[in-house]
């Protein structure tokens, strides 16, 4: 990969929260989830701007799995698709960023998403599933004249993939750093990588590839 001009490059930490790590086994644990921190901090050194996102869900959200509606069963609604275990609830450990990352206030821009009870977005660029309700991060990156976005976080096959595709559609050159990501399941990770590559997103295996 050719080295990216730092002044025109942003680094995006997508949902690097304990909810998606083995430390929260009742939420959505992703194997190795806590291991991404050094790679996220390293990739940020190649960027002038660092942005991040957190899932921020209510325990009353309509998509929360229960005995009648187990995980992955369909949920009716315009901005929900399937049931998920309760996760990333403010005030709980699952909501917190993994140790070793900056505080949200120390990022250049930060997104809290999934607050509405009837919306479960995956991408960090829109609050809904129709890419209508902007979280403002695309506008922020454009105002800062950013052209390239390096993406990492949790999980590769859901929120990282969707965020990367949204950024690509918004006109950025998007690089997904697999060393800074972990995913939920091998088949959905592989499908996500193929979908991203088909959209001309650049996939790198290691942060060192950013050196060019």
Residues of this chain that bind ligand VGL (CB under 6 A): 15, 20, 28, 55, 84, 154-155, 158-159
Closest separation in Å from C-beta 157 to ligand VGL:
7
Nearer to ligand VGL, 9 or 183 (CB): 183
Nearer to ligand VGL, 28 or 98 (CB): 28
Task: Name the residue among 101, 111, 130 with its Cα closest to residue 56.
Answer: 111
Nearer to ligand VGL, 35 or 145 (CB): 35
Closest separation in Å from C-beta 144 to ligand VGL:
25
Closest separation in Å from C-beta 33 to ligand VGL:
10
Closest separation in Å from C-beta 201 to ligand VGL:
16
Closest separation in Å from C-beta 153 to ligand VGL:
7
Nearer to ligand VGL, 9 or 166 (CB): 166
- CA-to-CA distance for 120 and 69, rounded, in angstroms? 16
Nearer to ligand VGL, 84 or 126 (CB): 84
- CA-to-CA distance for 209 and 182, rounded, in angstroms? 18
């Amino acid at each position: 990969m050719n080295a990216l001009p730092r002044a025109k490059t942003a680094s995006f930490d997508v949902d690097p929260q304990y909810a998606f790590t083995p430390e929260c086994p009742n939420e959505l644990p992703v194997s190795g989830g806590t291991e991404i921190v050094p790679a996220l901090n390293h990739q940020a050194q190649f960027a002038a701007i660092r942005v991040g996102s957190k899932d921020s869900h209510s325990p009353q959200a309509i998509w929360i799995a229960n005995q009648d509606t187990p995980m992955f069963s369909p949920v009716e609604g315009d901005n929900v698709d399937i049931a998920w275990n309760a996760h990333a609830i403010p005030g709980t450990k699952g909501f917190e960023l993994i140790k070793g990352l900056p505080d949200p206030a120390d990022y250049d821009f930060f997104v809290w998403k999934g607050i509405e009870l009837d919306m479960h977005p995956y991408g960090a660029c829109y609050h809904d599933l129709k890419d209508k309700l902007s979280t403002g991060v695309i506008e922020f990156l454009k105002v800062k004249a950013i052209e390239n976005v390096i993406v990492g976080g949790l999980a590769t096959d859901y929120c990282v993939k969707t965020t990367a595709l949204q950024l690509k559609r918004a006109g950025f050159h998007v690089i997904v750093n697999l060393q800074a990501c972990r995913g939920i399941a091998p088949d959905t990770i592989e499908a996500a990588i193929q979908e991203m590559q088909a959209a001309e997103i650049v996939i790198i295996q290691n942060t060192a590839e950013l050196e060019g």
